[in-house]
């Protein structure tokens, strides 16, 4: 029987965005094993309703719990903004989200903070609330960027159109004279060269992926859950095309990953059937 501390940490996102969190976790805690889950069949999440996002998150955490993991990291701001508080109370697992770690880091860097995020995250107001709870003197402006995730998942990062869209999204924040910009969606770090080329070099960029990696390490330490064995290779699971995810992600991973396609609902139905036949 594997000890709880030697189980993997699970990370989930709608797609390749969470790879930015995966890399930060690897840098911070190279000794940990990771299960990376991407709900690619149902992305993007950021234009969906809060109810749908919560339902998807519950389905994912149900599935992850059955895989035996010691911690769940929401490598997705949209899920963190809309579902974290609810699911934390529902599961007997440590679950971490990006908003608070990102907000804490941002207020240390500046007072005029821009947030670029999915429409659902912006609508939730989660970043503005978190920042102002920490520092009521900080000013926050948020911009919803619905086109970014489809462009990144569609491998359009270098296109002229992507740069035009980025200029349009950043324009209102440039007008406000922001000194700090938060990537309020894990996909956006993949656009760093494009975004950096538009922003003044004096603007601090905050990637909450870095902050959550530090928070996760602290949490594992507090719970005595740090892995003390050799880590296993990262396991990649997706709900959409395994080939497409592997092809797209290799540019960030630096290798062509082995990817499993899984059926979220079928597996939870099978598990439910098993449980009921076992009389649980
Ligand atoms: N990468 C996710 C986030 O951080 C989700 C993006 C999406 O699917 O719209 O918000």
* Contact status, residue 241 vs residue 261, Cβ threshold 8 Å: yes
> Is a pLDDT exceeding 70 seen at residue 213?
yes
* Contact status, residue 149 vs residue 218, Cβ threshold 8 Å: no
**Which residues have CB under 6 Å of ligand 1?**
13-14, 17, 43-46, 76-78, 118, 121, 149, 185-187
Using the atom order of ligand 1, give the atom closest to the CA of residue 78.
10
Q: What average pLDDT does the segment 256-280 reach?
A: 65
The verdict on whether 237 is a catalytic residue reads no
Band of residue 2 on the pLDDT scale cut at 50, 70, 90: confident
Cα–Cα distance for residue pair 143/86, rounded to 1 Å: 25
| Domains, in order of start, for the chain | 4-97+211-277 (3.40.50.1860), 99-208 (3.40.50.1860)
Q: What average pLDDT does the segment 176-182 reach?
A: 98
- Whose CA is closest to 147, among 44, 21, 17? 44
Using the atom order of ligand 1, give the atom closest to the CA of residue 184.
4
For the stretch 127-174, pLDDT in tens is 999 999 999 999 999 999 999 999 999 999 999 999 999 999 999 999
> Is a pLDDT exceeding 90 seen at residue 269?
no
pLDDT on residue 271: 45
For the stretch 20-59, pLDDT in tens is 999 999 999 999 999 999 999 999 999 999 999 999 999 9
Q: What average pLDDT does the segment 206-233 reach?
A: 97
pLDDT on residue 279: 40
Name the residue at shortest CA distance from atom 9 of ligand 1: 46
Whole-prediction pTM value?
A: 0.93
Catalytic residue among 29, 181, 185, 212: 185
* Contact status, residue 220 vs residue 33, Cβ threshold 8 Å: no
The verdict on whether 145 is a catalytic residue reads no
Using the atom order of ligand 1, give the atom closest to the CA of residue 121.
10
pLDDT on residue 1: 81
For the stretch 64-121, pLDDT in tens is 999 999 999 999 999 999 999 999 999 999 999 999 999 999 999 999 999 999 999 9
């Amino acid at each position: 029987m594997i000890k709880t501390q030697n189980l993997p940490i699970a990370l989930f996102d709608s797609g390749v965005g969470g790879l930015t969190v995966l890399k930060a976790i690897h840098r911070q805690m190279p000794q940990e094993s990771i299960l990376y889950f991407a709900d690619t069949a149902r992305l993007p999440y950021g234009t969906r309703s809060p109810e749908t996002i919560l339902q998807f998150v519950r389905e994912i955490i149900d599935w992850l719990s059955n895989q035996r993991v010691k911690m769940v990291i929401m490598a997705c701001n949209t899920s963190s903004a809309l579902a974290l508080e609810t699911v934390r109370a529902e599961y007997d697992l440590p679950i971490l989200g990006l908003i608070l770690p990102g907000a804490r880091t941002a207020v240390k860097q500046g007072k005029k903070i821009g947030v670029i995020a999915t429409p659902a995250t912006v609508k939730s107001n989660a970043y503005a609330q978190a920042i102002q709870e920490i520092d009521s003197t900080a000013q926050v402006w948020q911009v919803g960027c619905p086109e970014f995730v489809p462009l990144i998942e569609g491998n359009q990062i270098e296109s002229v159109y992507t740069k035009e869209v980025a200029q349009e999204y950043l324009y209102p924040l440039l007008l406000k004279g922001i000194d700090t910009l938060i990537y309020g969606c894990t996909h956006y770090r993949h656009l760093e060269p494009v975004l950096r080329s538009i922003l003044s070099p004096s603007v601090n960029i905050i990637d909450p992926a870095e902050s959550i990696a530090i928070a996760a390490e602290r949490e594992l330490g507090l719970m005595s859950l740090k892995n003390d064995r050799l880590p296993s290779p990262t396991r990649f699971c997706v709900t959409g095309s395994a080939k497409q995810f592997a092809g797209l992600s290799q540019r960030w991973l630096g290798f062509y990953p082995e990817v499993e396609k899984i059926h979220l609902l079928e597996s939870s139905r099978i598990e439910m059937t098993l449980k009921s036949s076992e009389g649980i």
